[in-house]
Structure 1
Amino acid sequence: MARSQSQLPVWLHWLDTCPSTNSWAIAHRSSLRHGDVVFTPQQTAGRGQHGRVWQAPPGVLTASFVLESISVAQLPVVSLGAGLSVIYAVEDLLPNLQNTLRLKWSNDVLLDGRKLAGILCEATANGSMGRVIVGIGLNCCVDFEQAGLGADAIGQALSLHQVVPIVPEALALLERLRHYLLQTAGLLQPKHNANESTGLTALLPALRNRDALLGHTIIVETDSEQVAGEAVGISDRGHLLLRLPNGEVRSFVSGHILWQKHETRLSI
């Protein structure tokens, strides 16, 4: 449904349809400010991690959040913080789901082991500091079958309407997501971060408590290799720790996660 800009918060840019909210935010960067949000109820050409397609059928909340003055080196941490932001926003509005959501390093939110949300962070910078666009896709009221998405397309996806009787309105979810993302940005900005690890240090207890991979046998797929082992946590730099069969523990900055027996595919 179309919305008049006069009915919306000043920070919200509501687009009736859009190929990609992240791409739109990057293209219109000169008119956007810290804390601005780009939202569309109809995203037609979304982008996921590692160049994958980001499926967004009707019922997926798709939005991009603008965060300023973030170190480019902190981009992996922003993705983890965004995952926590999704968890907190959903649990704020749906108290019955308290302590049930988990973070699948580094960019998926799971409920009952199934994918509820995905995150794509993209940085634009001159030098070491810059702007980060945090794209979030949250499955709210998605009828995957009606959308023509079979098991190969949606993997282990789950929609909020399948587990709660009333799904929060988009504006309420956007406000809560923005609230927590701004908190994350505040932790990572230089004025609060004389030591580069300070912001992450504040997030680590929650990240480790919500770690969906801990103790699972997984495969980490990088550009050059696939490595199997047991996920043994998140390092104090936000890296995934993997214990190999020989006992060695390797640290991964980025990678695509496959379960040992099946791949958890992108659903949005």
Structure 2
Amino acid sequence: MSRSQPPLPIWLHWLESCPSTNSWAIAHLPQLQHGDVVYTPQQTAGRGQHGRVWHSPPGVLTASFVLEHIPVAQLPVISLGAGLSVIYAVEDLLPSLQGTLRLKWSNDVLLNGRKLAGILCEATASGTLGRVVVGIGLNCRVDFEQAGLDISTIGQAISLHQVSPLVPDPLLLLDRLRHYLLQTAGLLKPEQNTGESTGLTALLPALRSRNALLGHTIIVETGSEQVTGQAAGISDRGYLLLQLPNGEVRSFVSGHILWNHEGRS
């Protein structure tokens, strides 16, 4: 950053370039603290869910957030809370988009049915608590055509500059994202008296109201099968509910989603 600009916040680790902010954060995890953020304007080898490539052309905000003391039982729902954090952060800074963003279970944020952001959560656990690195890629000012990314490559992506004349400064976005992720982590911490977390219960109404998949026919890809059905909501444990053609309802803790709302993504 320019020397004339104010000093960076103590929680921010600014890298001019790196292959992957998640990889860097994981490699340096012993030196990082709860709430630390790793950011780069130039990520060269981003990683997505299920081993997929995360494309990071110029204009993508790429950052990783360190969260600590997360109950192991809550680790599967961190990506859902992170998705809400992205939604709230964007809507805080761009009020014109209030109510327009949706969550595609479990790790994508959609705007007008198109992918605005992707999330990759990677956790380590010790006993009953874990540390999580939450990687977020948010399309801010991306010229997909100039970057040479066609529709099939980018999964029907969209960038903030396509829908808003104003795109927030990266530092503002990082601050808001961090704010909401820390709130989520606080909700998921076990209560001192009971040892139980009530965080997911608090998040469920918002998760369900922002559920982009509800009612759509989708395919859930797991490591061993493809299952087709109608998305029937999000369970009390944060799992995806899928109603099969025979009426049976199955739940999935993880999986890759294919659907035809705006093409496969």
Distance 1:262 1:115, change over 3 A: closer
With structure 1 as the length reference, what TM-score do the two structures score?
A: 0.95
Q: Which secondary structure does the structure 1 equivalent of 2:13 belong to?
A: strand
Kindly state the Cα deviation for residue 243 of structure 1 after the two structures are TM-superposed: 0.5
Task: Give me the whole-angstrom Cα distance separating, in 1, the residues matched to 2:193 and 2:255.
Answer: 26
Q: Name the amino acid aligned to 2:121.
A: C
Distance 1:147 1:15, change over 3 A: same
Higher RCO (CA-CA < 8 Å; seq separation 6+): 1
Q: Name the amino acid aligned to 1:134.
A: V
Q: Name the amino acid aligned to 2:28.
A: H
Kindly state the Cα deviation for residue 3 of structure 1 after the two structures are TM-superposed: 6.7
Contact persistence 2:190–2:197 (CA under 8 A) = no
Structure-1 residue corresponding to 2:113: 113
Structure-1 residue corresponding to 2:7: 7
Q: Which secondary structure does the structure 2 equivalent of 1:73 belong to?
A: helix
Q: Which secondary structure does the structure 2 equivalent of 1:96 belong to?
A: helix
Contact persistence 1:76–1:106 (CA under 8 A) = no
Q: Name the amino acid aligned to 2:71.
A: S
Task: Give me the whole-angstrom Cα distance separating, in 2, the residues matched to 1:102 and 1:51.
Answer: 24
Q: Percent identity?
A: 80
Structure-2 residue corresponding to 1:79: 79
Q: Which secondary structure does the structure 2 equivalent of 1:203 belong to?
A: helix
Question: How do 1:22-37 residues align onto structure 2 when only pairs under 5 Å count?
Answer: 22-37=22-37
Q: Which secondary structure does the structure 1 equivalent of 2:191 belong to?
A: helix
Deviations 1:103-132 (A, max 9, x none): 000000000000000000000122231210
Q: Name the amino acid aligned to 1:108.
A: D
Deviations 1:57-83 (A, max 9, x none): 000000000000012221221100000
Kindly state the Cα deviation for residue 194 of structure 1 after the two structures are TM-superposed: 3.5
Task: Give me the whole-angstrom Cα distance separating, in 2, the residues matched to 1:193 and 1:61.
Answer: 39
Kindly state the Cα deviation for residue 41 of structure 1 after the two structures are TM-superposed: 0.3
Could you tell which deviates more after superposition, 228-237 or 70-79? 70-79
Contact persistence 2:190–2:198 (CA under 8 A) = no
Q: Name the amino acid aligned to 2:210.
A: R
Contact persistence 1:228–1:260 (CA under 8 A) = no
Task: Give me the whole-angstrom Cα distance separating, in 2, the residues matched to 1:36 and 1:4.
Answer: 24
Structure-2 residue corresponding to 1:45: 45
Task: Give me the whole-angstrom Cα distance separating, in 1, the residues matched to 2:87 and 2:221.
Answer: 25
Kindly state the Cα deviation for residue 171 of structure 1 after the two structures are TM-superposed: 0.2
Kindly state the Cα deviation for residue 4 of structure 1 after the two structures are TM-superposed: 8.9
Structure-2 residue corresponding to 1:156: 156
Contact persistence 2:113–2:261 (CA under 8 A) = no
With structure 2 as the length reference, what TM-score do the two structures score?
A: 0.96
RMSD: 1.8
Q: Which secondary structure does the structure 2 equivalent of 1:58 belong to?
A: coil
Structure-1 residue corresponding to 2:218: 218
Task: Give me the whole-angstrom Cα distance separating, in 2, the residues matched to 1:196 and 1:248.
Answer: 31
Kindly state the Cα deviation for residue 16 of structure 1 after the two structures are TM-superposed: 0.3
Task: Give me the whole-angstrom Cα distance separating, in 2, the residues matched to 1:129 and 1:255.
Answer: 24
Distance 1:192 1:5, change over 3 A: farther
Distance 1:30 1:38, change over 3 A: same
Q: Does 1:203 align with 2:203?
A: yes
Task: Give me the whole-angstrom Cα distance separating, in 2, the residues matched to 1:193 and 1:150.
Answer: 53
Distance 1:52 1:263, change over 3 A: farther
Task: Give me the whole-angstrom Cα distance separating, in 1, the residues matched to 2:73 and 2:165.
Answer: 41
Distance 1:147 1:192, change over 3 A: farther
Kindly state the Cα deviation for residue 151 of structure 1 after the two structures are TM-superposed: 1.7
Task: Give me the whole-angstrom Cα distance separating, in 1, the residues matched to 2:156 and 2:238.
Answer: 25
Kindly state the Cα deviation for residue 193 of structure 1 after the two structures are TM-superposed: 8.6
Task: Give me the whole-angstrom Cα distance separating, in 2, the residues matched to 1:218 and 1:171.
Answer: 37
Distance 1:192 1:219, change over 3 A: farther
Q: Name the amino acid aligned to 1:146.
A: Q
Unmatched runs of 5 consecutive residues or more in structure 2: none
In the alignment of these two chains, the number of paired residues is 265
Contact persistence 1:56–1:62 (CA under 8 A) = yes
Structure-2 residue corresponding to 1:70: 70
Kindly state the Cα deviation for residue 6 of structure 1 after the two structures are TM-superposed: 6.9
